Amino acid sequence: MRSKIAFLKQEEMPNQWYNIQADLPNPVQPYLHPGTGKPTVPDDWTPLFPMNLIEQEFSTERFLDIPEEVLEKLLIWRPTPLIRAYGLEKYLNTPAKIYYKNEAVSPAGSHKPNTAVAQVYYNKVAGVERITTETGAGQWGSALSFACSLFDMPLKVYMVKVSFEQKPYRKLLMNSWGAECVASPSPDTNFGRQVLAENPDTPGSLGIAISEAAEDAVTSKVKTKYSLGSVLNHVMMHQTVIGLETQKQMKMFGDYPDVVIGCVGGGSNFAGLSFPFIRDKIYGKEVSIIGVEPTACPTMTRAPFLYDFGDSAATTPLVPMYTLGHTFIPAPLHAGGLRYHGLAPLVSQLIKDELIEARAYDQLKTYEAGLIFARNEGIVCAPETNHAIAVAIDEALKAKEEGREKTILFNLSGHGLLDLSGYDAYMSGKLTDYSLPQEDIDKNLEALSAYPKPK
C-alpha cells in the first residue's frame, strides 16, 4: 500500500523551537521607540508583555527548549499528520506530488494554539492574572481561549466586528472555553469609543482591535498583559514546530519539497511551516518558498517596506515591515485572518532578501480552489488556507505543463467548519472580488513619511 499519511510518535515531537534570527543573512531591523526614534529595549515592552516572552522576542539563540508544561499541552493534538493529497493529484492529473501538513486537527481548528499555549504558559509563570487580545476571523481568539482555559487564565477577546457578525459560533466557542468576547470597535475602551463616534458603521479591522486590547491591558486594575497571535518574532518561533515536524515526516515519505507554500496575514502559519526550510535554503538547499495573500490586502505584493505601527491607534513601537499603513482598513474579506495592514518583521526581512516569493490571489479563485480540495481530499478548509491551496493547485498545473515531477508542500493552517458562510456566499454566486486602487494605498502611507525609514 502506498504511503498516504505520516504520523510521528510522541517521543519524535520536537522539544525545541527554531529561531531563524540565528541564521538570517541580514538581521531583522530593530523595533523603534516612536517618541525617541531609538531602538527599543526589553523594558519598553513590559507594559504589554511579560519579560520571559520579551526575552524570546530579542533572542538570537538558534534553538530554545520548549518547557515540559507547554509540550504536554501541545501533545493534546500534536504531532499533527503530514498527508499526501492523492485525490487532488488525480483530479488535477498532474505528475506533481502534493503534501499538506494538517494543522486543522487542533481543538481550536487551526495552527494558532501552537503559540497560544506557549504564551499563556509564560504569562502564567510570570504571575500575570488576566490576558487581553484581538481576533480577526476568530481563529486566534478561539485558540487563546482554548489555551487560557487549560491554564485557568481569564481572557477578554476583541473581535473585528465584521467577523463577529459573520461568525456567531466563534463567540460561543470562546465562551465555552470560559473567555469573554466583544465586537471591536467596542464601547469598552477609549479608542473603541472614538472610532465608533467617527464611524459607527465601520466593519472594524485587526489594527483597531489590537489597539483596544492593548489599551485594556495597560489600563486594567488587575495585572493584565496583552497577547498577539502573529507578527512578533516569538510568535513565529513558537510556530516552527510545524516545519520541524514536517521535515521529519517528509523523510518518512523519502521526499523533500521543491516548493513550500503558506498563506500570509501576519505571517505565523507561513513562518511556522517555512522557516526550517528557509534555514535549509540559506545553507544551500534548492527550495522555493511562496507566501500568498489576498489581492484586497496586498501587504507583500504592493506595499513598501517601512517603519509603521502594529495597531491603528499608533500606540505600539515602530515595526520594520511591509505595510499598507496602520490606518488602512481592508475590504470585508471572508479570510479575516489575512486582513492585516502589516506583516511580521521576520517575514518582511526574508522577502526583502529574496528568500521568499510573494503572490496575491483574488477571493473567488481561492474559494474555487477550496471547493476542489474539499471534494477531492475531503477537508473543508478555512478561507485563509484556501489561498495556499490555490497556489498549490497552480504549481501542480504548471508541473503538468512542464511535464515534470515536482514536490509541493503546503500548510493546511485551519479547517472552515466555523467559516461556512463564505462558502455559502460563493456557492450561491454572491461572493465578489475587491479591487484596491493605488490611491487608496498611497493615502494611508502618507502619514508614515514623518517616521524613520528602515534600511
107 belongs to the binding site for a second copy (CB under 8 A): yes
For strand 318-322 and strand 305-309, is the pairing parallel, antiparallel, or unpaired? antiparallel
| Residue 58 interacting with a second copy (CB under 8 A) | no
User: Does residue 6 belong to the site contacting a second copy (CB under 8 A)?
Assistant: yes
User: For residues 169 and 434, which CB has a smaller minimum distance to a second copy in the complex?
Assistant: 169
- Measuring CA to CA, which residue among 310, 307, 314 is closest to residue 191? 314
Residue 16 interacts with a second copy (CB under 8 A)? no
What does the radius of gyration of the chain's CA atoms come to, in whole angstroms? 20
Q: Is 173 in the site for a second copy (CB under 8 A)?
A: yes
Quick check: helix, strand or coil at residue 182? strand
Residue number, 326 or 415, with CB nearest to a second copy? 415
Q: Which among 45-53, 167-175, 195-203, 349-357 is the span making contact with a second copy, rule CB under 8 A?
A: 167-175
Instruction: Output 356 or 379, the one with its CB closest to a second copy.
Output: 379
The Cα–Cα gap between 263 and 158 comes to 23
| Cβ closest to a second copy, residue 254 vs residue 403 | 254
Query: Shortest distance, CB of residue 155 to a second copy, whole angstroms?
Result: 12
Specify whether the CB–CB gap between 50 and 128 falls below 8 A: yes
Q: How many residues bind a second copy (CB under 8 A)?
A: 53
Here the cell at position 311 is 495597531
Three-state DSSP class for residue 421: helix
How far is it, in rounded angstroms, from Cα 94 to Cα 378?
Answer: 19
Spatial separation of the C-alpha atoms in residues 98 and 374, rounded to whole Å: 15
Q: Which residues in the 341-380 window bind a second copy by CB under 8 A? A: 371, 374-380
Choose, by CB under 8 A, the member of 60, 175, 190, 199 that binds a second copy. Answer: 175
What does the per-residue mask of binding to a second copy show for 247-286, with x meaning CB under 8 A? ----------------------------------------
Query: Residues 6 or more apart from 149 whose CB is under 8 A from it?
Result: 177, 178, 179
The answer to whether 246 and 275 have CB atoms below 8 angstroms apart is no
Q: Is residue 8 involved in binding a second copy (CB under 8 A)?
A: yes
Asked if 267 and 171 count as a contact pair (C-beta separation under 8 A), the reply is no
- Which amino acid, residue 39? P
Measured CA to CA in angstroms, residue 8 lies from 236, 244, 253 at distances of 22, 11, 12
Cis status, amide bond into 185, omega within 30 of 0? yes
Among positions 22, 41, 51, 76, the unique one binding a second copy when judged by CB under 8 A:
76
CB of 353 vs a second copy, minimal distance in Å: 37
Reading the block at residue 272, the C-alpha cell is: 511556522
* Part of the chain binding a second copy (CB under 8 A), chosen from 64-72, 222-230, 332-340, 431-439: 64-72
Shortest distance, CB of residue 168 to a second copy, whole angstroms? 9
Residue ranges that bind a second copy, judged by CB under 8 A: 1-10, 68, 71-73, 75-79, 81, 83, 86-87, 105, 107, 109, 146, 149-150, 169, 172-173, 175-178, 371, 374-380, 415-418, 420-421, 423-424, 427
